[in-house]
Structure 1
Amino acid sequence: MAEAAQPRLAQAGEASAIARLIDAAYQPYRDQGVALPDVSGGVDEAIADGQVWVIEKTSLQGVLMLSTAPPIAHLTNVAVAQSTRGQGLGGALIQWALQLSTSAGCSEISLATHVEMPGNIALYAHLGWRETERDDRRVMMVRALP
């Protein structure tokens, strides 16, 4: 894994850069014809609510959007800059989400991913999430927390 800084809460002035990183991270799926919803919408509000964490060195490298409202946390988004893909930052952000959720007293963490993103579905299943529901666009998954 790349030597990454500890995730920190995002600041309001970073909303545009965070939205650009998220949009760029999902662009390869759009290029493959996956009809994704607005993946970067609501960043300003999520930052104001204390639900966005970032990893950076000299520039923004990764973003985590997470809400923790016991008993269930919700992993909204994990995005990594194209230049740092494959270096373990996404995994580090997911681990951070699990730690934050457990510390907040949540017993489960849920997420929704796109049905046309089988790599994501397999990754989350490998990391302990189980599918709970599926429709024509989304796959809902949940993982128990300690």
Structure 2
Amino acid sequence: MATCRSMRRGAWRWPPAATPITSPFPASARRNMSMVAAVTETIIIRPATAADAADIAGMINAAFAPYLGRLKPGPSALKETAETIAPQLAPPGGGAVALCVDGTGRASAIAGTVLFKPEADDLYFGRLAVPQAQRGHGIAGALIRFVEDEARRRACAGIVLGVRIALPENQRLFVHHGFAEVSRHAHDGYPEPTWIRMRKRLTSG
């Protein structure tokens, strides 16, 4: 079986089909979904392509903007543009987007996104972004599961990420999905730790 590291050196293909995640939303949530024109019934997670770069950058900027002033240093995610996202989507990196699909099968604008890349024997993911109006309905969890499936497809040993110490709600999300703290680190110029490295070990099957 190819290892995560050896697959990084070779070409690889996206999964053959999008991953449907059924996620009914209550009527109150539907009314608050400003990005979705029609009532949504299903979330579809699919691999991101270069054509999604501008939408992904916009989604990331919108999702991370509320952290300005709360995070020190400020979120580097706000520097992302279509030009910086596109190279990250090229192999061996990649990404995924979530789409809301209405009862007629028509897909809405992007409702969430994540980027990933190989890191030694693991798959690292970041820029997990879901707009505030659509949080709490399983979109982030569906994107995390997509990353886990991709890591298994690449025969990676685990999944890793970095999360800010100042965002305990994000830490709880990752703990809920099986991640555990590995170490703490400080951004350049900061004497105390500012972020946590977390990892989920993957088992076979």
User: TM-score under structure 2 normalisation?
Assistant: 0.64
Separation of aligned partners in 1, 2:65 and 2:123 = 26
Deviation at 1:11, TM superposition (A): 2.3
Deviation at 1:90, TM superposition (A): 0.6
Deviation at 1:87, TM superposition (A): 1.4
* 1:54 counterpart residue number: 97
Separation of aligned partners in 2, 1:85 and 1:37 = 19
SS state at 1:39 partner? helix
Deviation at 1:37, TM superposition (A): 3.0
| Equivalent of residue 70 in structure 2, options 24, 33, 41 | 33
Q: Please tell me the residue identity of whatever aligns with 1:93.
A: L
Give the aligned length. Answer: 144
5 Å matches for 1:1-146?
1-2=23-24, 3-5=42-44, 7-30=45-68, 33-35=70-72, 36-39=74-77, 41=80, 42-49=84-91, 50-56=93-99, 57-68=107-118, 71-135=121-185, 136-146=193-203
Separation of aligned partners in 1, 2:64 and 2:145 = 21
Tell me if the contact between 1:62 and 1:90 (Cα under 8 Å) persists in the aligned partners. yes
Tell me if the contact between 2:64 and 2:75 (Cα under 8 Å) persists in the aligned partners. no
Q: Which runs of 5+ in 1 are unaligned?
A: none
Deviation at 1:86, TM superposition (A): 1.6
Q: Please tell me the residue identity of whatever aligns with 2:70.
A: G
Separation of aligned partners in 1, 2:52 and 2:76 = 18
Q: Please tell me the residue identity of whatever aligns with 1:113.
A: V
Q: Percent identity?
A: 26
RMSD (CA atoms): 1.8
Provide Cα deviations, 1:25-78, integer angstroms capped at 9, x if missing partner.
112222x52233311533121123351111123111110111245621101221
SS state at 2:155 partner? coil
Deviation at 1:13, TM superposition (A): 2.8
Deviation at 1:81, TM superposition (A): 2.5
Tell me if the contact between 1:108 and 1:144 (Cα under 8 Å) persists in the aligned partners. yes
SS state at 1:120 partner? helix
Q: Please tell me the residue identity of whatever aligns with 2:97.
A: V
Deviation at 1:92, TM superposition (A): 0.4
Q: Which runs of 5+ in 2 are unaligned?
A: 1-22, 25-41, 100-106, 186-192
Deviation at 1:134, TM superposition (A): 0.8
Separation of aligned partners in 1, 2:159 and 2:85 = 20
